[in-house]
Amino acid sequence: MLQPTLRTTPDAWAIDNRVYPTSAGKPGPRDPFLTPYMVPFGRAIAERTHRRVVLACSAQMGKSDTFLDVIGQRLDQAPAPILYVGPSKQFVTEQFEPRIMGLLDQAPSLSRKVARGKRMKQTRKLVAGVPLRLAHAGSPTALKSDPFALALTDEADDLVANVKKQGDPIGLVDRRGDSYADFVHAIVSTPSVGAKEVARDPDSGLEFWAVQEPEDIDSKIWALWQEGTRYHWAWPCPHCGEFFIPRFDCLEIPRNADPARAQRETRMICPRNGCVIDDDPNGHNLKAEMNARGVYVSPGQSIDPEGNVIGAPVDSTTVSFWVSGLCSPFRTFGDRAKDYVTALRSGNHNEIQAAMNGGFGEVWAPQGGDVPEWEEIKKLALPYLRGDVPDPVVFLTCGVDVQKNRLVYVVRGWGARQESWLIDAGEVWGDTALEDVWTDLTELMSSDYAGTHIARTFVDAGFRPGKKDEVPEHRVYEFCRRHARQAFATKGFEHRDKPLSVNRIDVTARGKSTKYGLDLVRLDSDFMKSWVHQRLRWPVDQPGGWHVFALPTDEHPDGLTDDYCRQIVSEARVRKPSGGYQWVVKARNNHFLDAEALAFAAAYMLGLQRLPDSARRPGARAPAPAPEPKASDADQPKAPPPPKRSGWLDGGSRGRGRGFLG
């Protein structure tokens, strides 16, 4: 009499059916709990409660073995068509297919169900009467062929972004499961490029990855992970007992260490109480113990001292997991640190990225230039309101960055010793291929800021609004021709012999000669942006500071925004491996930094660097004695009553209902 197959989990099935060969790093019976952070991932796939199950992690974490557990358990206990998608044909045929054959041959319950001979192909196996298909991202035919109940995508970030113009491979695979009600698409990968930031939960004290703007994430797996439950693998500290989420920032690598010293002396610091955690003190495997007690926790949840997770996870149709490469039992803290220091000393950004992605399982954003954290910009705020003009200001300039759907601007006031004050910053929304938004910019340029007008405006002409056949005029050029005495079109270059030069253009965008030429200002972008970043950490006791207006309050909600602060540090000046420097984008929204560089360039053109200490604007008061240093940067002094300003600067809107204060 036939007995029904007992349904188990992938890890339980693997313990009963899989044995590593003598050639493996750890030969013998398969132990899924050597990598316990992989067990919940495999079980989530087998439960079939969510269409997507996502795992972001580093290399050498046990991903492939977990996929093999899932495939074996499904084919043995609930046979259904399975599709595996690898990053390349070579990877599939030379690395994964031999492991599939090892699985089918070594598991007794599977080996007798395999159709052999002519029915067995390298990329298609028939097991228990159902197909197991091995495909790769460059094969749209395979991705669009038969329906499947289970799909497994490996190294999603290495997949071809567009499979022969057939669309995103992840989407193509998803559509293969439309005919199965319990279809599951499991996706794993090491992440690649993207912005990252830690957010501390005030209730649990745990530090989670903060959700970033989609446009700041290039990594496919990280974008998918953000859309899901965002589970983080957490450890209990072996000393204080508090749970924490290990990540690269928890490592303490000796300052200026070479790779050998980094491998020897690196240790982990518990972020909860500063406890020192070594990999293997006196032969005692602390990492194995921490992994054994590790749990997955989602933002909003907490962990009690016994390791019980309290609260509901983030609500999502995708179950997503992240685990740090520091949790791998195959690599020590020192091994990871050695690889990172080696990459860092090479000066090659590709090697540094590979160390961060593959070693720690974290997204990587270019770093360098000693760029401050965005919170430091908020500490530069002084007690004056948006739109007010402090007495030391002699003249105002405006910088405008042009985007397809808006103009991003800053107005900055300038004084002696190149000291400056942010007066206004915002976005003028509207299609820049149309005239309306440029009319709004005209009104902005003619605004009265406490009795002071903008002396010069620089507008970036690098972006050309509209298509040439639909909008033959270059909107920036035409605007600057109409305001030739005040507005100048600019183009930035990576490096120039001079910071700024002016060239006359006597041809219109249509290619015709014009009676009224245009002065195009060519800028050394490196010089202008470097000046801005140099001023961010200017000594407080020295003249020449770079200031911003006050933070928002209940009474004055239109204060300095976090978005402005983030954009100011959205780029970093880094040294190239071949020599010289380049500006690399850390976050795509960098428009306020560009606008600030343009505002400085306009002031430079007006002779800011030659402004005497005695310079004063009409009606300004003489400088007061320097105030005593503030006791705390966190305490924002009460702002003085604002002087009279134009009506629309008080938060009103104009014309089509668009306010200039964001």
Q: Pick from 37, 55, 39, 53: which is nearest to 235 by CA? A: 37
d(CA 82, CA 324): 29
Q: Decide if 521 contacts 458 (C-beta within 8 A).
A: yes
Q: What is the DSSP letter of 178?
A: T
140, 155, 189 - which closes a domain: 189
- Name the helix (H) or strand (E) containing 114: strand 114-115
Tally of domains in the chain: 3
Q: Pick from 506, 479, 449, 458: which is nearest to 608 by CA? A: 458
Q: Is residue 10 part of a domain?
A: no
Considering the domain architecture, whether residues 608 and 473 belong to the same structural domain is answered as yes
Burial 115-137 (b: 16+ CB within 10 A, else e): eeeeeeeebebebbebbbbbbbb
HSE at residue 137, side-chain half, CA atoms within 13 A, is: 21
Considering the domain architecture, whether residues 185 and 202 belong to the same structural domain is answered as no
Tell me which amino acid residue 241 is: G
- Measure Cα distances from 564 to 78, 424, 441, 598, 618 in Å: 54, 11, 19, 15, 30
pLDDT of residue 644: 35
d(CA 410, CA 319): 42
Q: Is residue 538 part of a domain?
A: yes
CATH code at position 108: 3.40.50.300
Q: Is residue 235 part of a domain?
A: yes
CATH code at position 524: 3.30.420.240
Considering the domain architecture, whether residues 185 and 311 belong to the same structural domain is answered as no
Considering the domain architecture, whether residues 544 and 562 belong to the same structural domain is answered as yes
- Name the helix (H) or strand (E) containing 352: helix 349-360
Q: pLDDT tens across 584-602, in order?
A: 777 878 999 999 999 999 9
Q: Is residue 368 part of a domain?
A: no
Q: Is residue 594 part of a domain?
A: yes
Q: Which tokens is 125 given?
A: 């196996």
pLDDT of residue 651: 29
Considering the domain architecture, whether residues 157 and 139 belong to the same structural domain is answered as yes
Q: Pick from 178, 220, 162: which is nearest to 51 by CA? A: 178
- Give the chain's radius of gyration (CA, Å): 30
d(CA 412, CA 169): 47
pLDDT of residue 137: 76
pLDDT of residue 579: 58
Phi/psi for 248 (5° steps) reads -55, -40
Considering the domain architecture, whether residues 284 and 398 belong to the same structural domain is answered as no
Regions of the chain short of the pLDDT cut 70: 1-5, 25, 140, 142, 160-167, 281-283, 366-370, 466-473, 506-516, 575-580, 620-662
Q: Is residue 138 part of a domain?
A: yes
- Measure Cα distances from 475 to 15, 399, 513, 559 in Å: 68, 16, 17, 31
Considering the domain architecture, whether residues 440 and 577 belong to the same structural domain is answered as yes
Q: What is the DSSP letter of 565?
A: H
In which domain, by residue range, is 245 found?
Answer: 198-328+336-358
Centre a 10 Å sphere on the Cβ of residue 631 and count the other Cβ atoms it contains: 7
Considering the domain architecture, whether residues 324 and 424 belong to the same structural domain is answered as no
Considering the domain architecture, whether residues 485 and 570 belong to the same structural domain is answered as yes
Q: Which tokens is 140 given?
A: 């749209």
pLDDT of residue 414: 97
pLDDT of residue 507: 54
Considering the domain architecture, whether residues 474 and 541 belong to the same structural domain is answered as yes
Considering the domain architecture, whether residues 490 and 524 belong to the same structural domain is answered as yes
pLDDT of residue 165: 58
Considering the domain architecture, whether residues 477 and 612 belong to the same structural domain is answered as yes
Q: Decide if 549 contacts 537 (C-beta within 8 A).
A: no
Q: Is residue 312 part of a domain?
A: yes
pLDDT of residue 633: 42
pLDDT of residue 177: 92
Phi/psi for 243 (5° steps) reads -80, 145
Q: pLDDT tens across 248-266, in order?
A: 999 999 988 999 999 999 9
